[in-house]
Chains A and B, each alone.
Chain A
Amino acid sequence: DAKTTQPPSMDCAEGRAANLPCNHSTISGNEYVYWYRQIHSQGPQYIIHGLKNNETNEMASLIITEDRKSSTLILPHATLRDTAVYYCIVRVKTSYDKVIFGPGTSLSVIP
């Protein structure tokens, strides 16, 4: 799986959009970008994934650059409950290969 790099921490004001970046410059053509988050003392929660087109669901939006070397997860209106560690992972969708987590980005939503 391609390596990803994320900032270690970010702050966001409550009600504002949280934009979490991820660099994956060595991503392969068949690798998807996945985002998970982990709220304290819970298991990781799947958020969204995409290949090359931008994606949106009820939780977030995923913007992938045209060259696919980076992406941004957008939480449109951050709430205090969005405070968590966010992990960006790239992998082949059909792969049973192990998923290795990096350190992620610790997002703090501030009142």
Chain B
Amino acid sequence: GAVVSQHPSRVICKSGTSVKIECRSLDFQATTMFWYRQFPKQSLMLMATSNEGSKATYEQGVEKDKFLINHASLTLSTLTVTSAHPEDSSFYICSARDGQTNSPLHFGNGTRLTVT
């Protein structure tokens, strides 16, 4: 079945630094990927929709200059958390859909970001 790979699975960084998270569709082409954030004991919150070759669409309240999304190819989208602060510590999850087969959304295993 469709596999979405997310890397790294865990990252610890210092306040003020930037962190890049990669999301890859391993065996299908994903023109659209979605980025979610999840705080403890809460549901997934959609941050943005990543479209290959165009600008991402951000949800209300999500700062586009802080959470940079690049979807440069049909198999890779990246989320960069810039100038990270402790309140950015969270579980970040990407998902992608194979548009050619109309298969369900598949999700990466998430990235646990801790900002110290």
Contact = CB atoms under 8 A, between A and B. Distances in A.
Pairing of A with B: yes
Interface in B93-116: 93, 95, 97, 99, 102, 104-110, 112
A59 to B, nearest CB: 12
B91 interface: yes
B105 to A, nearest CB: 6
A99 B46 contact: yes
Given A98-B46, A100-B46, A46 B102 contact: no
A41 B38 CA distance: 10
Interface in B32-73: 32, 34, 36, 43-46, 49, 59
Interface string A69-92: 000000000000000010100000
A contact residues, range: 20 to 34
B27 to A, nearest CB: 15
B46 A43 contact: no
A81 to B, nearest CB: 16
Contacts of B108: 43
Contacts of A100: 46
Given A34-B104, A49-B104, A44 B93 contact: yes
A16 interface: no
Contact of A98 (B34, B93, B102, B104): B34
Closest 7 CB pairs of A and B: A43-B107, A101-B44, A44-B107, A43-B109, A46-B104, A101-B43, A43-B110
